[in-house]
Amino acid sequence: MKGQIIKILSNLYTVCDENGNLYDCHSRGRFRNDNITPTVGDYVVFDDKNNYILEILDRKNTLDRPLVSNIDQAIIVTSCKKPDLELNLLDKLLVVLEYNNIDPIICLTKLDLLSNDELKEIDDIRKYYQYIGYTILDNTQIDELKEKLNKKTTVLTGQTGAGKSSLINKLDPNFNLATGEISKALGRGKHTTRHVELIEMFGGKVLDTPGFSSIDLKQMTKEDIKDAFIEFNEYPCPYKDCMHINEKECSVKQAVEDNNILESRYENYKKFIEMINNRR
């Protein structure tokens, strides 16, 4: 039978089958010999009579903090005010998600704190990100968000104070998102590893801990970053390996000049490339 590991407590793996039934399974030593350690999120073949995990299926992706595999999508909880909209952080998260093959859903919060002029500004930004292919919802669009969760494994991410916990509460008041604030209140250090768990919600699963709390672009090359700016591919440059920075004839730079690419996107792209350059 096939299922997904939703929780690991020492040697006990809780596996959820396709119908939502739970099985407490053990693993066999051979995983250790194969250098495969089962993680939360792993899809497995298991023996439902003897409760043994037989095989770990190929992973779509693996995050290391928190350690979890096969994340389909991430809700980027993005505050528009208090804290202010941070397009640099948003673009950085989008880059990391693209790199990890995770679909982003941008969820805007605190729109009610904006003046009309500010709303207009946010609306232009929203239209741009939608135009290049991203899903953007407001935190009032709860039904749409619920639909997005169906049949997917989802993680929440976004800046501190953006409203991850209150969003989760709107979706399901029983769900307790473990945020950094809670760990602090309990006097635990920042880097304390805790057990992570996938919680069933609206036909899908949601990780009970925010992901990408400390994001850097450490494993990525400059080419990875270039590829992650998905709209750049729409503007093929004369020079095939164009990095869109110092090249004289560059379609991407032209598109920025023509206002077809959002300037902040291009500026953030240059910053990320510079970060990679400074690393070496």
Closest distance between Zn ion and the C-beta of residue 232, in Å?
8
Q: Which is nearer to Zn ion, 89 or 242 (CB)?
A: 242
Q: Which is nearer to Zn ion, 22 or 230 (CB)?
A: 230
Q: Which is nearer to Zn ion, 144 or 249 (CB)?
A: 249
* By the rule CB under 5 A, 237 interacts with Zn ion: yes
Range in contact with Zn ion (rule: CB under 5 A) among 103-111, 132-140, 178-186, 240-248: 240-248
The interface mask with Zn ion, positions 44-83, x = CB under 5 A, is ----------------------------------------
Residue 184: CB atoms within 10 A of its CB come to 11
* By the rule CB under 5 A, 226 interacts with Zn ion: no
Tell me the C-alpha distance between 263 and 268, whole Å.
9
CA atoms within 13 A on the CB side of 237: 21
As to burial, measured by CB atoms within 10 angstroms (0-12 exposed, 13-18 middle, 19+ buried), residue 186 is: exposed
Q: 156 has which bridge partners? A: 75
Q: Which of 97, 105, 210, 194 is nearest to 148 (CA)?
A: 105
Closest distance between Zn ion and the C-beta of residue 100, in Å?
25
Tell me the C-alpha distance between 166 and 59, whole Å.
31
Closest distance between Zn ion and the C-beta of residue 233, in Å?
11
Using CB under 5 A, pick the residue from 110, 126, 226, 244 that binds Zn ion. Answer: 244
106: which 2 tokens? 């941008």
* By the rule CB under 5 A, 108 interacts with Zn ion: no
Q: Which is nearer to Zn ion, 138 or 247 (CB)?
A: 247
Closest distance between Zn ion and the C-beta of residue 249, in Å?
8
* By the rule CB under 5 A, 252 interacts with Zn ion: yes
Q: Which is nearer to Zn ion, 72 or 231 (CB)?
A: 231
Range in contact with Zn ion (rule: CB under 5 A) among 99-107, 190-198, 210-218, 231-239: 231-239
Tell me the C-alpha distance between 160 and 95, whole Å.
19
As to burial, measured by CB atoms within 10 angstroms (0-12 exposed, 13-18 middle, 19+ buried), residue 139 is: buried
Torsion from C-alpha of 236, 239, 243, 249, nearest 10 degrees:
-80
CA 227 from centroid of its chain's CA atoms: 17
Tell me the C-alpha distance between 74 and 212, whole Å.
10
Range in contact with Zn ion (rule: CB under 5 A) among 8-16, 66-74, 201-209, 239-247: 239-247
Range in contact with Zn ion (rule: CB under 5 A) among 77-85, 115-123, 241-249, 268-276: 241-249
* By the rule CB under 5 A, 250 interacts with Zn ion: yes
Using CB under 5 A, pick the residue from 96, 125, 242, 262 that binds Zn ion. Answer: 242
70: which 2 tokens? 């096969």
183: which 2 tokens? 């760990």
* By the rule CB under 5 A, 256 interacts with Zn ion: no
* Residues found near Zn ion in the complex (CB under 5 A): 237, 242, 244, 250, 252
